[in-house]
Structure 1
Amino acid sequence: MTNLHPTSKANNDEDEESDEDAEDDEEEEDEEKKPQMTFSFIKHQGCVNRIRATNFKNSVLAASWSELGNVSIWNITQQLQAVDEPTLLERYNLDTVSNPVKPLYSFSGHQQEGFGIDWCPTEPGVLATGDCRRDIHIWKPNEGGTWTVDQRPLVGHTSSIEDIQWSPNERNVLATCSVDRTIRIWDTRAAPHKACMLVAENAHEKDVNVLSWNSKEPFIASGGDDGCLHIWDLRQFPTSTPVGTFKHHTAPITSVEWHWTEPSVLASAGEDNQVALWDLAVERDDEEVVDEELKNLPPQLLFIHQGQTDIKELHWHKQIPGVIV
């Protein structure tokens, strides 16, 4: 038996080494499977307050609001191609050291910085921007990669423009919200001082922060500093009464967006570090036995995501319908 003992111990050592090797291999495989982020960048003057992208002709354009009060349009087609191809990315990074990317066009006519910005989805290249002074300017593209910005701002709001949303199906119509607690619907075919067609006065108890225009139904969702989510029917808009009000967030709402294929579904985010998923088609079943802790929650509230802080924006993924970014 004594002769077998060393052999047994050796075998055990070999097994332990084999197990350790297997664990190391698994760790290496797990490391390889971890997602890796590849990025290209553009140096931007001043903090980026908000950015929006669009397809225009054969390019992808991004419009950015700077804290310095300028709005710039960038062609980011090359950057997107570089992200997809490692060799292009390496070359791009080297080139931009000596040749920084410049914007296609910049506008410095706003008197203050701003946050409101949106590309028109039905008229390629048309842009609306709104600043903290209350001014809204409409941009229209020219031949040769420049834009004409109407120097006459749309007149109506009395305080900072917080968000802008173009109509998903009417190319001259847009909605805006403001610190003045109003939501306004505009028709850009009219003269700037007459372009405001509809107003919801006192739309929220405090600042109105964000808007989202439903792509399937005549509804607009709004979120405010009061933590409320309001649903507006454009057919009843002049009454200034929302057709639905949902109170779940305990702090100002920072983002809201309707799902692009499900007209009753939307998501909201707030300074309470929550992302909420809603389905407005859901109604409470009076016969259903509800848990005591859940009975005060709106039945339309499907899901709450917590664990992320300082959530500024959310968007539904256009290729994966069930994913929110």
Structure 2
Amino acid sequence: MIEPRVWQPGVDKLEEGEELQFDPTVYNSLHAFHIGWPCLSFDIVRDSMGLVRTEFPHTVYFVAGTQANQPAANSIGIFKVSNISGKRRDLVPSKPTGGDDDMDSESSDEDSEDSEDGEDGEDGESGKPVLQLHRVAHHGCVNRIRAMTQHPNICASWADSGHVQVWDFSSHLNALTESKAVIHQAPLVSFSGHKDEGYAIDWSPLVPGRLVSGDCKNYIHLWEPTSGATWNIDTIPFIGHASSVEDLQWSPTEPHAFASCSVDKTIAIWDSRVGKSPVAAFKAHDADVNVISWNRLASCMLASGSDDGTFSIHDLRLLKEGKDTVVAHFGYHKHPITSIEWSPVEPSTLAVSSADNQLTIWDLSVERDEEEEAEFKAKTKAEVNAPEGVPPQLMFVHQGQKDMKELHWHAQIPGMIVCTAADGFNILMPSNILNTLPENVA
């Protein structure tokens, strides 16, 4: 009998007759679904159902933009996934679980067979998630979409046509149905001042309506909200990068500060009150910097992911001392990093997705303890041996999706992550990741 082991994309090869096996016991919940065309970008919409939800079943609202093969076939989907089932597990089970786990009825990839409009079990009695969807016509592919934290019905989208648009999806969120009809709705604002298409866009977590957008020609524009559903968009751009601006993030503590990353391998820090140049800039990677994430629970920490598969953690306090900002650097992934995001409930935890078809979760506070590992293995009677050379900070590896693009933690459901890929969405809750709030987090 061949001993089971963890398979690593890009490292291991499947021999003839070998197949990968999915272990449902490592998830509290796992569901897959799609809304038609692949979505490069999506966002989780904050709701009014409770700040900290830990009991199944769960309900989640999303907005997502499609990548259709014809410009006119694209749309923005506003949708609700309800009846998300699962099971809470102890991190260390009191006794070994048998192979006949009951997760098949609770959470599995078989849920991807659900119809895109929730026709399988519309009343939720089937035990499978129910998908309710509205579509708003969108000319051209949606490169990125973000919902405003303070007013989740307001969303900003970056189109491959070069337009940045702001939408009000109140009516759709309030009246979701299973209708397949594509609704034609005009955006509140459509800005064509960028010189090219782009991907970088972010709403301020501190000032409702404040927005920045960056394009592939290195321009960044600031949007300031005015009275009513209007914005004053500064036509004079912020310029500091030598190439495409790939991502933007507002500071979680300073209302006028934001960060940007670029194909020019650098990260820049900006103060919107001080001219149109960055107040600080530094080389972050040896290749394009694709994504960044500003830690909202530890505001001195900024994470960045690169085209060479590496990701780094930067301590911004070191900028004042003129030192290298990198305090941690990981080269586990071998293909471009496509998304990175800090946990909303645990300041040392972050999730990363890569073009190697892996989503990984890391806890930077962890150090290797051989005695603890041996004790855990004895308690769980673990049979699967982890690969050699894996960093101890690596807590979880999720596979099974093709061409992963973007991930987000759910801010109101601790431990839940959603990821989009070329073959659709996954909602996952790993069994070894915190699913309650620490006492010091409100």
TM-score by length of 1: 0.83
Kindly state the Cα deviation for residue 288 of structure 1 after the two structures are TM-superposed. Answer: 6.4
In the other structure, the counterpart of 1:70 is: 163
Q: Which residue of 2 aligns with 1:20?
A: none
Q: 1:239 Cα deviation (Å)?
A: 2.5
Q: Distance in 1 between matches of 2:318 and 2:391?
A: 23
Structure 1 gaps of 5+ residues are: 1-26
CA contact (8 A) 1:200 1:239 kept: no
- Does the 8 A contact of 2:348 with 2:364 survive in 1? yes
In structure 2, the partner of 1:23 is none
Shift of 1:32: 2.8
Task: Provide the rounded CA distance (Å) in 2 between the counterparts of 1:54 and 1:269.
Answer: 23
Does 1:296 find its partner at 2:389? Answer: yes
What are structure 2's unaligned runs of at least 5 residues? 1-119, 375-383, 419-442
Does 2:233 align with 1:149? yes
Instruction: Please say if 1:108 is aligned against 2:192.
Output: yes
Q: Is the 8 A contact 1:226 1:251 kept in 2?
A: yes
Q: Deviations over 1:11-66 (max 9, x none)?
A: xxxxxxxxxxxxxxxx9999733222110011011100000001456x61010000
* Alignment-derived partner of residue 40 in structure 1: 134
1:227 maps onto 2:321 in alignment: no
Aligned to 1:254: 338
User: CA distance change for structure 1 residues 55 and 260 in 2, over 3 Å: closer, same or farther?
Assistant: closer
| Aligned counterpart, 1:54 | 148
User: Structure 2 residue aligned with 1:204, among 274, 285, 307?
Assistant: 285
Larger CA Rg, structure 1 vs 2: 1
User: Of 347, 364, 367, which residue of structure 2 is paired with 1:280?
Assistant: 364
CA 1:264–1:56 in structure 2 vs 1: closer, same or farther (change >3 Å)? closer
Question: Which amino acid is 2:416 matched to?
Answer: V
Deviations along 1:88-142, one digit per CA (max 9) or x if unpaired, are x76x959x4xxx2100011000000000000011010010000000000000111
The answer to whether the aligner puts 1:236 opposite 2:330 as a matched pair is no
C-alpha distance in 2 between matches for 1:175 and 1:79: 32
CA RMSD of aligned residues (A): 2.3
Are the aligned partners of 1:128 and 1:164 in contact in 2 as well (CA < 8 Å)? Answer: yes
CA distance in 1, matches of 2:255, 2:227: 20
- C-alpha deviation, 1:146, in angstroms: 1.4
- d(CA) in 1 for partners of 2:238 and 2:312? 25
Q: Separation in 1 of the partners of 2:216 and 2:124?
A: 48
**Contact kept in structure 2, 1:183 and 1:200, CA below 8 Å:** yes
Question: For the structure 1 residues 32 and 221, does the alpha-carbon distance in structure 2 shift closer, same or farther, using more than 3 Å as the test?
Answer: same
1: distance between equivalents of 2:327 and 2:139? 42
Residue identity over aligned pairs, in percent, reads: 48
Partners of 1:274 and 1:306 within 8 A in 2: yes
Distance 1:163 1:251, change over 3 A: same
Q: What letter matches 1:188 in structure 2?
A: S
2:361 is the alignment partner of 1:267: no
Partner of 2:49: none
Residue 69 of structure 2 corresponds to none
Query: Is the counterpart of residue 179 in structure 1 residue 263 in structure 2?
Result: yes
Question: 3-state DSSP class of the match of 1:236?
Answer: helix
Distance 1:150 1:285 in 2: 53
Which residue in the other structure is 2:67 paired with? none
Q: Distance in 2 between matches of 1:56 and 1:259?
A: 19
Q: Distance in 2 between matches of 1:299 and 1:33?
A: 36
1:314 maps to which residue?
A: 407
Which 4+ stretches in 1 moved above 4 angstroms? 27-31, 286-293
How far apart in 2 are the matches of 1:117 and 1:39? Answer: 24
TM-score (norm 2): 0.61
Contact 2:340 2:351 (8 Å CA) reproduced: yes
- Code of the aligned partner of 1:102: A
State the AA in 1 paired with 2:229.
G
Deviation at 1:319, TM superposition (A): 2.0
2:307 matched to 1:214? Answer: no
